Amino acid sequence: MRVMAQVAMVMNLDKCIGCHTCSVTCKQTWTNREGTEYVWFNNVETKPGIGYPKHYEDQERWRGGWVLDDRGRLKLRSGGKVKRLLGLFANPDLPSIDDYYEPITYDYDTLITAPAGRDTPVIRPKSALTGKDTAIKWGANWEDDLGGAAEHAAGDPNIAAMPKQAADKVRFEFERTFMFHLPRICEHCLNPACVSACPSGAMYKRAEDGIVLVDQNRCRGWRMCVSACPYKKVYVNHNTGKAEKCTFCFPRIEAGQPTVCAETCVGRLRYIGMVLYDADAVTAAASVPDPQDLLEAQRNLFLDPADPAVVSAALSAGVPRDWIDAAQRSPVYELAIRHKVALPLHPEYRTVPMVWYIPPLSPVLDAVSEMDGDNADPDQVFHGITQLRIPMEYLASLFAAGDTEVVAGVLMKLSAMRGYMRARTLDGTVAEELLAATGMSSMDMERLYRLLAVAKYDERYVIPPAHRETAAELAELGTGCSLDVPGGPGMGRVLLPLSVLPIKRNGEP
Ligand code: SF4
Ligand code: SF4
């Protein structure tokens, strides 16, 4: 057993109101620069929908993540080393700017300098890339609140994976079915495809906390990481030709502070904590043959931070004592492992993602209300959970490699917790039947309720600061990752001809 520490995140999707504050604050912090106009390290998608970039979940198209070879060993879906090297200059699995969207600005000067006249001056949208007039046809958030999504629903890869009858129902009764928001950042995977695909060794996973970064000094702009990432969370800065990605706000994490997206989240739905895992077991966990076994295999990677044997192994491996203490109070461990209500996004990509999600109960509650049921009655909600195939199959495609029982189990726990607390608070009774139905104890219910409903800042973010003794090493790593400003270390000369950058339209040479 080789114990390592990982900083990880859980998001509670029931609380996301799709306000995009997280995206905007992240952009202001990290990608408000030339070359990254189209880049959103944090984006919020409306589901069902095709997302950003378009259809990123369709790995038949983009060939991201890992698959098993004939002998059951992991290999990048994008191909082995030889194939990737042969494709260096003609990589067909790369989204174009049209798959993201053409970033726009406005000709604000016209507003300020227009001569006095009878008509109000009008400003036209201009491409932020070419400066020319442009028509706005798509955006990172085009499907917001299902706006325009009815037109594109058929293209959602999760719907394509559903049985035909259910898929047709989602397509044709789209706005009546369900919707929710899905905020996404880099998953800082334990088995990152981006790192394995990088021919320059520029992408790396920090040993001390597992944050995945790009060394700007080593990146040669081959873009293999963009193709290999199944979540499409590596981007190319078209000014520098180098890869950039979510940094998990590592300077803040080192200071014991949450990421900017978490700090500013209006719904207070993000949780950040340390988890301990067995690094020797990652490859085996990512290689289990049946995709529906991946969730349990990934859960089993996490070590119980209260187990004296784990504590001793962690100390021997150099994990600082206060990091182990933090792991023992980790809201991520609590939600993902102790209560098993958080699930990884697309575990079948086999990258072992470290941003997990509590699936939304609201589609089920809405459906129960629509049937004139009482969505506060656990019996009716339980019934709804077992009957409502469509949201269940859709959520299972996102979070459990299609296993609806896993999602139903989580939603039952969440629903039971509401019923249990309602009975306790309003009637002063203990709903024993809910404890029996979910296999949870009273203490489990109270702990889960506390975390999901009333947890304060210090309970949602349990982040031990970086250690002074590792500061020099961290500073050195930080220099390589700086994305800060034009002229900074990451903003050097373009190393590749413009023709091989992704900033071109589909079909253009
Ligand atoms: S989600 Fe992040 S760590 Fe995982 S493969 Fe993509 S870029 Fe790499
Ligand atoms: S700030 Fe929070 S609530 Fe708002 S969109 Fe982002 S994740 Fe959702």
Structure confidence by residue, pLDDT tens digits, 195-252 = 999 999 999 999 999 999 999 999 999 999 999 999 999 999 999 999 999 999 999 9
CB of 364 within 6 A of ligand 1: the answer is: no
CB atoms near residue 9 (< 10 Å): 26
DSSP 273: E
CB atoms near residue 509 (< 10 Å): 4
Name the percent of the chain lying above pLDDT 90. 65
Q: Measure 354 CA to ligand 1 centroid, in angstroms.
A: 10
Buried b (16+ CB within 10 A) or exposed e, 289-321: eebbebbebbbebbbebeeeebbebbeeeebbe
Contact by Cβ (8 Å): 31, 40: yes
pLDDT of residue 498 exceeding 50, the answer is: no
pLDDT of residue 123 exceeding 50, the answer is: yes
Ligand positioned closest to the Cα atom of 185: 1
pLDDT of residue 98 exceeding 60, the answer is: yes
CB atoms near residue 71 (< 10 Å): 6
CA 44 to ligand 2: nearest atom = 5
DSSP 338: I
Q: Measure 44 CA to ligand 2 centroid, in angstroms.
A: 8
Buried b (16+ CB within 10 A) or exposed e, 24-39: bbbbebbbebebbbbb
Mean pLDDT value of segment 444-472: 89
pLDDT of residue 509 exceeding 70, the answer is: no
DSSP bridge pairs for 245:
234
**Euclidean distance between CA atoms 226 and 194, whole angstroms:** 7
Contacts of 25 (CB under 8 A, 6+ apart): 260, 261, 263, 264
Contact by Cβ (8 Å): 229, 64: yes
CA 42 to ligand 2: nearest atom = 6
Q: Give the pLDDT of residue 254.
A: 95
CB of 229 within 6 A of ligand 1: the answer is: yes
Which bin fits 55, alpha (ψ -120 to 50), beta or left (φ > 0)?
left
**Strand 234-237 to 104-106 pairing:** unpaired
Least trusted range by pLDDT, from 43-57, 154-168, 351-365, 480-494: 480-494
Residue minimizing CA distance to atom 2 of ligand 1: 186
Structure tokens at 184: 């996404």
- pLDDT class of 485 with cuts at 50, 70, 90: very low
CB of 64 within 6 A of ligand 1: the answer is: no
Q: Measure 264 CA to ligand 2 centroid, in angstroms.
A: 8
pLDDT of residue 164 exceeding 60, the answer is: yes
Q: Measure 493 CA to ligand 2 centroid, in angstroms.
A: 36
Termini Cα distance of the chain: 51
Model pLDDT for residues 71-80, shown as the tens digit of each residue: 999 999 987 7
CA 193 to ligand 1: nearest atom = 5
Q: Give the pLDDT of residue 440.
A: 93
Ligand positioned closest to the Cα atom of 183: 2
From residue 271, give the alpha-carbon distance in Å to each of 13, 76, 334, 446, 467: 12, 30, 10, 18, 22
Q: Measure 190 CA to ligand 1 centroid, in angstroms.
A: 9
Q: Measure 230 CA to ligand 1 centroid, in angstroms.
A: 7
Q: Give the pLDDT of residue 220.
A: 92
Contact by Cβ (8 Å): 158, 345: no
- pLDDT class of 480 with cuts at 50, 70, 90: very low
DSSP 284: H
Mean pLDDT value of segment 461-477: 70
Reduced to 3 states, what is the DSSP secondary structure of residue 302? strand
- pLDDT class of 143 with cuts at 50, 70, 90: confident
- Mean predicted lDDT score pLDDT of the chain: 87
Give residue ranges with CB within 6 A of ligand 2: 16-22, 44, 181, 183, 265-267, 269
Best residue among 16, 184, 261, 362 to mutate for probing ligand 2, ranked by most atoms within 8 Å of CB: 16
Catalogue the E-assigned strands of 186-241. 203-205, 212-214, 234-237
Q: Measure 193 CA to ligand 1 centroid, in angstroms.
A: 7
What residue ranges define each of the domains in the chain, with the CATH number in brackets?
A: 17-102+137-255+473-500 (3.30.70.20), 267-462 (3.30.70)
CB of 84 within 6 A of ligand 1: the answer is: no
Contacts of 463 (CB under 8 A, 6+ apart): 7, 253, 256, 257, 258, 272, 273, 274, 326
CA 17 to ligand 2: nearest atom = 3
Question: What is the residue whose two structure tokens read 């952009």?
Answer: 27
Ligand positioned closest to the Cα atom of 265: 2
Best residue among 11, 44, 357 to mutate for probing ligand 2, ranked by most atoms within 8 Å of CB: 44
